[in-house]
Every structure is written in structure tokens, then in C-alpha cells.
Structure 1
Amino acid sequence: MNNGSNRKNGNVRESFNSQWGFILACIGSAVGMGNIWMFSTRVSLYGGGAFLIPYIIFVVLIGATGVIGEMSLGRAARSGPIDAFGMICEKKGKRKLGEALGMIPVLGSLAMAIGYTVVMGWILKYAAGTFTGATLAPESVEDFGGRFGSMASAFGNNVWQVIALAACMAILMFGVGRGIEKANKILMPVFFVLFVILGIYVFFQPGAADGYHYIFRVDKTALMNPKTWIFALGQAFFSLSVAGNGTLIYGSYLSDEEDIPASAARVALFDTIAAMLAALVIIPAMATTGAQLNQGGPGLLFIYLPNLIKSMPGSTLIAMIFFVAVLFAGMTSLINLYEAPIATVQEKLHVGRKAACLIIAAIGVVVSLMIQGIVSGWMDLLSIYICPLGAGLAGIMFFWIAGKKYVEVQVNKGRKNKFTELYFPICKYIYVPVCILVLILGIALGGIG
């Protein structure tokens, strides 16, 4: 990549040092808790392969539309959502309105990062506890539940939460190439390797075959159930991190030589592989004990899986591998979520990167400590309203306001062959309405992400 070509207002803007550095960073932003504690549960609840079919359809749709669009818009603006939306609306003489709307995904990213900080504190405590013995110490599922309830209460995990945030900010202070890119080049490959190891281990456990059958069966009744399609849409939408913030800001660090559609395809592929790896570990592991996987969310990760792992041969090592892998996946997502507000502070307050990190870290520490007891409701509010709204706004800006000619120029930069002519109409008339549909369905059903 040519860093010198990535300029804004005559100044060299930070950029990724390599194509795979950028791709791994985007994969890191996409691979998170939804791949681990939600995907497996939904595969189990909605008919295995009957869920996978619509999920893959929606991954292809969103990866080939929204992900490409947000990366391209970020690269075109060489800035975050505020300036990007302002730039698009300036064509209509409404720059201030565009900048005001751009605040929505930025504040949404900060709020989501703050909520995620609480979760990362839990994960860090459990990961460390696998080495001290504390994680697997409880004697029953009720004891695991009681300990998690205590940790997830108001001010129940202060120290580990602050450490998780400090580790994230330490990486971000090094910048895009030396911080975000290097961290993802280490954390993402290790995550995949660790989950492959777990998958191989589970494969050789008695009863695991029932789990594989459960994953790949196609329940025709489930396939015809609208809820299967709705929750597959929600899973794909939120997993690919289209929200008008993180993917857009990573795109702003790209050179014009980058083939964005090809990069987006790789991101969607590896995000799906990560989700499948998690399912191929968790569902067969549950099958080995005869347990049914009907619990999702934090309860699965911090109560039911530790209780299951404790009963398995080599439980201490398995717990170490599992929670370290989860920690790495979570950290890469946290880095992405904090990057948009940090970049915005840099641009708007004209301060250095370290100062911007310290400002956002101060906000993150205070607010994350205050919301520990209500983090579930906090995250639900954001995923139902703010994330699909941010994605929809970015889509409207790029595909409805900027117009076809502008979109095609930006998407085709760095490509040898022109991207499909169908791209623009599909994005304008299918992807943008899908964002609105996700918002409506989330409100109606209390969240589908």
C-alpha cells in the first residue's frame, strides 16, 4: 500500500501497511461475541442447516453491498462519518445537516464500545481465571450462575474492566499501522488456530457426531418459519459490522490502489468461517454431555460452557484455549469500536492520537463503570436502534444522495475490472431498505442482533 497517496487537506493520513493488515483488521472488527455466544444458539434453535441457508444468503447480500459501500465511502472522504456525511450533503448545500447526522454512528460506536468494555472485563477475568483455577472452581451450574451474577452486577468487576480498556487503548495509541494492524495480525490468526484446536479436540469426543448432525440437518419446518429468516438476517447484519462507523473509518485509511470488493469478500468469508468454527466447537461439545443448546448470550459463555468444560477431559487446558481465543476476538472488536470516536476527536479537536485516546479512555472508564449493572439493556438499545440507523444513514448518503456515477467511481478504484453494473441498483433498492427493515424488526421483536 502507498501511504503517501492517502492524503487529506495536504496532510498524510495514517494508513494500513498491507492489504492483509487491513483485511485482518476488518475481520477482527466483525469477529466478536455474536459469532461465539449467539450464532451457535441460533443454529441450534432454528433447524441447523435451515438457519445456515438464509444466513449465508444474507452474508453474501450484506458483504457485497453494505460492507463495500461503507469502505468506499470512508476512502472517498478520508475521514470518519461526520466529515463523510458532511461531504456528501455538501453537494446539496446541507453540509451541517450531514455532519449532525454523522454524529449518530460516531456516538453509537462510542456507546457500543463502552458497553463492550464491560463484557471484555468479564472475559479478561475468566481468561485469567483459567490459569489460576478460579474460572472452573464452582461446583455446579447454579454456582457458575451465582458467580456470574455477582460479577455482572453494579461495580462487580471494576479492576478487570479497567485493565481491558487500558490494554485496548495501549494498542490504539500506536496508531493504525503500528497498533491496529499489528495487533490484528497477531490476535486474529491465533484466534482461528485456537478454535481449530478446540474443534479437533471436540471431534474425538464420544457423542460429538450427534452435534454435527444437529448443525447440518435441514429442518424444513424451520426453513419455512419467518423467524428463521428474520434472525438469520439479524445475525448476518450485526456480524458484518455495518453501522456507518467502524468499517467506514477503516476504509478511510485505505489507498486508492486497494480493491475494496475483493477485500469485502474476504472479510465476509472469514467472519463466516469464525462463526462456523464456534458452532463446530460449542454444539458438538454440548452433544457430548447430552445437553441442549437453548441458552444464548452471556449466560452461554460464562455459565453453561464453563460448567460443560469442567466435565471434559483436560478441562483446564481446554478452558485456557477457549477463553484466550474469546479474549482475542473480543479485543479486536473493541479496538474497532473505539477507533471511530478516537479518529473523530483527532479530526475535530485537532489533537494528537495519544491525547485523543486519553480523552476517549477517560469517558470509557467512567461510563463503563457506571453501567455495569445495566449493560444488557444498554447494548440492546444500541443494537435495536443505533446500529441499523447508522448503517441506513450511511447507505442513504452513499447510494441515494451521492448518486450512481459517484458510487461507481469510488467502488471501482483499484480494480482491474469494473465491478458489476448490478451493484448500485441492488444497494439502492435492496440493501438500504434492508437496513430500515432491520430497524423495524428489531423494534418489533425486541432485537434481532
Structure 2
Amino acid sequence: MTQSSSRDFFASRLGFILSASGAAVGLGNIWGFPTQAASNGGGAFLLVYLILIAFVAFPMLVVEMAIGRHGQANPVDSMRSLSSQPGTQKIASGVGWLGLSVPCAVLAFYSIVGGWIICFFLAALSNLLGWSEISQWLEGFSVERNLLGTVIFYVLTILIVQGGVKQGIEKWSTRLMPALFVLFAVLFVYILMQDGAVEGLKQYLIPDFSKIWNKDLILAAMGQGFFSLTIGGCSMLVYGSYLSKKENLPKMALSVTLVDTGVAFIAGLVVMPAMFVAMKQGVEIYAADGSLLNSDTLVFRVLPMMFESLGVLGQIFAAVFFLLLTIAALTSSISMLECPVTLVSERWNTGRNSTTWGLGAVIAVFSVIVLYHFSELFGLVVMLATQYLQPFAALMFCILGGWVWRHHSKVAELQLGFPELPQHWFGRIWPTYVKYICPIFVVAVLWFSLFS
């Protein structure tokens, strides 16, 4: 599919970087990363994570964004554009549909977690206003409360996405992302002033080198990197399709990687010290064998208990923290909904408003089904989406981008905004690297998911 003159594009370089970074920055950074770091040796996990982001996730992010910009279309048509052979195009279309299933499946459970966060934010506000009964209900785990939070989260996501690229995604990302960094900075300064914070900071920043070769730690870091940068999740492919041909694509991908990794790093700076502050307050964090307690509910249980122990000021910072999480969750959810919206609106020429509300409602129905069968379905949907669908989609993107997409064509795509690419070290290494090295790493993640 060729570029349409009516197609929306990002208005500015900063708008793209903040929007794409927002797509990557989500609960994986603020909820998942600190939890993984705390479970896998702190500093050792951080070091391995940073290395894998640089040598695996970043090169694959360039592939995904390049495919999107090359096709300048929805995921299915962008994948088709990689080949002129009818048989290969059919396979590429199938990979596009597979990739499209990832954000839809992730959004089905992600919106539920986003709803919890909104409820905790409203509970923190209720506490400040002295509405203790409402606060208790909002913090309780009832179907009605979960349903309320999920519906609010979907409505906020839909309202942003229906505005389109410039007036919806870019406009709100350029507001929400700076707010995210400001709130993080305030929380970091506050937590660092509490007793026990420095101890947590040391555990996070000083690696135990004896742990860095641990197989489970390496694979956990790799999986975290994939999920964090939404590799195989289609969001970066779609955002790449809205990027001007004049832009230096590897440089843009590097900016997105640095912002995303920076947020994960800062989240660790906040959460790890906060855990040790909570331990000083008598909250149990680690079991006798050194394993992390409440790993799945760390930010929902441990941190609120720490905030509660610090009086009124703690309640204010509880509200700030859950507002921060809400922002992070929304910047990711809008990119997930954008993927199917782009496909339907382009392929069937439907109105953006009706398409956004219609598709949002369809995915919301799946979320409601999961909510009413939570114990049976929630963990299953999370596992299928993040451990199987996303890594497999990433592998297929890598194979098509590395093997099917001809060398001269992909180099030409990157050269459009980076004329010196063939002489640059990146241009010499990247095409071969994504063809041979990256698939090995993705297969390792899949193998671990299937057979661990």
C-alpha cells in the first residue's frame, strides 16, 4: 500500500519520540521491571537488562519501525509490502494478523490492571477527603469495583485514540510523558529522605557479579526487555508508519529506547528504595529463602502499606504514585488500541470515531468476560499474550525483516533519513545482525516460555 495523502503523520520529532516512548513505557516499566529486579538480584538484573536492551531489543525495534515506515500502512499491509511475490505476501499478511492479535490480547488484560490502578488512585483521593468507606470499597477486590475501573480505563483510552495521531495520541503523549517524569522526580526525592532508602538503592545499583550468568536471570531480563519495548506488539510498527521519511530512523529508535529504558531505570530507583523503607516500617518483603513475597501485587499492596505508615503526607504521595501509574498505563493502552483502529479504518474506509468506539467496545467485552471468570482466565490470557503470542510475533517480524525483506530495500529505507548509513558502522552491522543474531535470542525466550 502506498502512502495516502490523507494519512495522518506525527507533526514533530519530539511528538513521535514521546508518543512511541509512551507506547513502550507502561506497567512493564513501573510494575514489571522493579519486581523483576527485586526478584533477580537487583543490580545484577539491571546490568544484564541494559546489555540486552542495547544488543537485542534496540536492533529489533529498528526492524519493526522500519517495516512500518516502509509500508506506511496498517500492520497487515506493511508486512505485505516487504515482498512482491504473491505466495510470500500471503504469509506476510498472516504474520501481520498475528502481530495484530498481540495488542488486542494484551489490552484485554492490561485494561483490567489499568482499572485497578485507577481505583487505587481514586481510593487515595477518598482517603484524603476522609471518605473511608468509599476508599475501602475502591481498594477491595470485587467484580463491581474491577468493572468500574476497567470501564473508566477503556473510556479514557478511546477518547484519546479517537482524536487521531496529531490531535489524540501526539497531543496527549506530549502532555502525559513530561508529567510522568515530574511525578517520578518528586517521588524519588521524597522516598530517598525516608529511613532505609539508601540500603535499597545500594541493592539496586551495585551488582553481584556472581549472579549475572544465571540462566533464569538472563531470560527474565530478555523477556522484560521485549515486553517493555513492545517488541512484536505491533505498536512500534504502527507508529513507524506515521513517521516522516525524512527522519533518521535508527536515531529515532535509539531515542525511544533511551526514554523507555530511562523510565524503567528510574522506576527501579523509586520502587527498590521504597521496598526497603517499607521493610523498616515492618512490612514483609522477602521470604526466609530470599524470594520476593507478593511479587504480582507489589505496587498494589507493599507500596500503599508504606504510604499509609507515613501519615497524611504518605496519602498525598500514594495519590501521586497511582496517578503516575495511570499515566504510564494510558500511554501504552492508546498504542494498543491504535493498531486495530488503523487496520479497520484504512482497509474499510470507516470513520475514526465509530471505529475506535466499536473496536474498543469489542475488546472491552473480552475484558468483562475475563473479569467474571477471573481465576480461570486472567492468568491464562496474560501467559498466552506475553509468553507465547508476543515472542512468536517478534520472531516472525525478525525473520521477515531479516530474510524476506531484501537487503538493498531495507538499507534504502533507512538511508532516506540517514544518507551516510552504508559507511556508518550501524549500516554495516545491523542488516546481518538482525538476520542471524536476533532470531537466536528470540528463540531462546520462546524456548524458555515453552519448556521452563
Same fold (TM over 0.5): yes
Q: 2:23 is aligned with what amino acid?
A: S
Question: Which 10-residue stretch deviates more, 249-258 or 434-443?
Answer: 434-443
Question: Which 10-residue stretch deviates more, 157-166 or 215-224?
Answer: 215-224
- Answer yes or no: is 1:433 the counterpart of 2:440: yes
Residue 129 to residue 63, structure 1, CA distance change in 2 (3 Å): same
2:237: which partner in 1? 248
Q: Deviations over 1:376-413 (max 9, x none)?
A: 32111110111011111111111110121111111222
1:150: which partner in 2? 141
- Answer yes or no: is 1:292 the counterpart of 2:275: no
1:121: which partner in 2? 115
- Answer yes or no: is 1:68 the counterpart of 2:71: no
8 Å Cα contact 1:89-1:97 kept in structure 2: no
SS for the counterpart of 1:12 is coil
- Give the distance between the partners of 1:8 and 1:231, measured in 2 at CA: 39
How far off its partner does 1:135 sit? 11
1:444: which partner in 2? 451
8 Å Cα contact 2:119-2:145 kept in structure 1: no
How far off its partner does 1:292 sit? 3.0
- Give the distance between the partners of 1:229 and 1:105, measured in 2 at CA: 25
How far off its partner does 1:359 sit? 1.8
Residue 168 to residue 309, structure 1, CA distance change in 2 (3 Å): same
1:158-307 equivalences under 5 Å are 158-290=147-279, 291-292=284-285, 294-295=292-293, 298-307=296-305
Residue 136 to residue 331, structure 1, CA distance change in 2 (3 Å): farther
SS for the counterpart of 1:94 is helix
1:337: which partner in 2? 336
- Give the distance between the partners of 1:44 and 1:351, measured in 2 at CA: 46
8 Å Cα contact 1:113-1:337 kept in structure 2: yes
Q: 2:331 is aligned with what amino acid?
A: T
How far off its partner does 1:282 sit? 1.2
- What is the TM-score when the length of structure 1 is the normalising length? 0.91
Question: Which 10-residue stretch deviates more, 95-104 or 330-339?
Answer: 95-104
8 Å Cα contact 1:41-1:296 kept in structure 2: no
Q: Deviations over 1:87-132 (max 9, x none)?
A: 2243364323321221111122112112211111111111122111
Q: 2:297 is aligned with what amino acid?
A: G
8 Å Cα contact 1:26-1:250 kept in structure 2: yes
Q: 1:345 is aligned with what amino acid?
A: V
Structure 1, unaligned runs of 5 or more: 1-6
- Answer yes or no: is 1:42 the counterpart of 2:36: yes
How far off its partner does 1:213 sit? 1.1
Identity %: 30
Q: 2:413 is aligned with what amino acid?
A: Q
Question: Which 10-residue stretch deviates more, 70-79 or 299-308?
Answer: 299-308
Residue 414 to residue 54, structure 1, CA distance change in 2 (3 Å): same
SS for the counterpart of 1:8 is coil
- Answer yes or no: is 1:413 the counterpart of 2:411: no
Of residues 371, 374, 379 in structure 2, which corresponds to 1:376?
379
RMSD over equivalenced CA pairs, Å: 2.3
8 Å Cα contact 1:68-1:411 kept in structure 2: no
8 Å Cα contact 1:24-1:185 kept in structure 2: yes
- What is the TM-score when the length of structure 2 is the normalising length? 0.90
2:357: which partner in 1? 358
Residue 299 to residue 438, structure 1, CA distance change in 2 (3 Å): same
8 Å Cα contact 1:80-1:245 kept in structure 2: no
1:101-140 equivalences under 5 Å are 101-133=95-127
SS for the counterpart of 2:211 is helix
8 Å Cα contact 1:172-1:339 kept in structure 2: yes
Of residues 67, 78, 92 in structure 2, which corresponds to 1:98?
92
How far off its partner does 1:440 sit? 1.7
Of residues 71, 76, 79 in structure 2, which corresponds to 1:77?
71
Q: 1:150 is aligned with what amino acid?
A: F
Q: 2:414 is aligned with what amino acid?
A: V
- Give the distance between the partners of 2:66 and 2:27, measured in 1 at CA: 26
SS for the counterpart of 1:88 is coil
SS for the counterpart of 2:221 is helix
1:21-32 equivalences under 5 Å are 21-32=15-26
SS for the counterpart of 2:81 is helix
8 Å Cα contact 1:77-1:252 kept in structure 2: yes
Residue 365 to residue 283, structure 1, CA distance change in 2 (3 Å): same
2:431: which partner in 1? 424
Question: Which 10-residue stretch deviates more, 128-137 or 13-22?
Answer: 128-137
8 Å Cα contact 1:82-1:100 kept in structure 2: yes
Q: 2:301 is aligned with what amino acid?
A: I
